[in-house]
């Protein structure tokens, strides 16, 4: 059945369904932050970033050496997902509605969803969140 889910078949998010969907490469999205429904997306391909051969650019290496940011993991999951869901200049709408946010907060409480936070002078200035399943991490959004 998961292979048949599409935009026309709106199904409420529950954790078991969400995990089964991700295992099949399917994920939820909403049309906007205020949309009360989410739909399921089944892309033909997904990007895979292997970490064993990652290349760090000279400019990124320089930024890291400057030690301007403090980087943490899983210290402010809800703040990261909220920041990812905010509208900003150039992006008025977001695909993260309250149902998706709640589901991922539940997954975080279960130890399955994680966040990386970047701090500057005690303020959260960047981050990402996603779902870990087996040896894969599904990065969902960042700011």
Per residue of the chain (143 residues), what is the pLDDT tens digit? 343 344 444 445 889 999 999 999 999 999 999 998 889 999 988 888 888 888 899 998 998 899 899 999 999 999 999 999 998 887 778 899 999 999 999 999 999 999 999 999 999 999 999 999 998 899 999 99
Query: Between vectors from CA 134 to CA 29 and to CA 105, what angle results, nearest 5°?
Result: 45
In the block, which residue shows the tokens 């892309």? Answer: 43
Q: What is the pLDDT of residue 75?
A: 98
In the block, which residue shows the tokens 């996603």? Answer: 130
Q: What is the pLDDT of residue 2?
A: 43
SS (H, E, C) 53-104: CCCCCHHHHHHHHHCCCEEEECCCHHHHHHHHHCCECCECCCCCCHHHHHHH
């Amino acid at each position: 059945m998961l292979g048949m889910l599409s935009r026309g078949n709106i199904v409420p998010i529950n954790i078991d369904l969400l995990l089964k969907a991700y295992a099949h490469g399917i994920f939820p999205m909403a049309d906007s932050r205020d949309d009360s429904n989410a739909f399921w997306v089944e892309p033909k391909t997904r990007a895979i970033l292997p970490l064993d051969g990652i290349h760090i650019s000279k400019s990124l290496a320089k930024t890291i050496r400057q030690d301007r940011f403090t980087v943490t993991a899983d210290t402010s999951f809800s703040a990261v997902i909220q920041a990812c869901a905010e509208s900003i200049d150039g992006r008025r709408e977001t695909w993260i509605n309250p149902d998706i946010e709640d589901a991922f907060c539940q997954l975080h409480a279960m130890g399955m969803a994680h966040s990386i936070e970047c701090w500057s002078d005690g303020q959260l200035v960047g981050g990402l969140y996603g779902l870990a399943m087996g040896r894969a991490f599904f990065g969902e959004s960042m700011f």
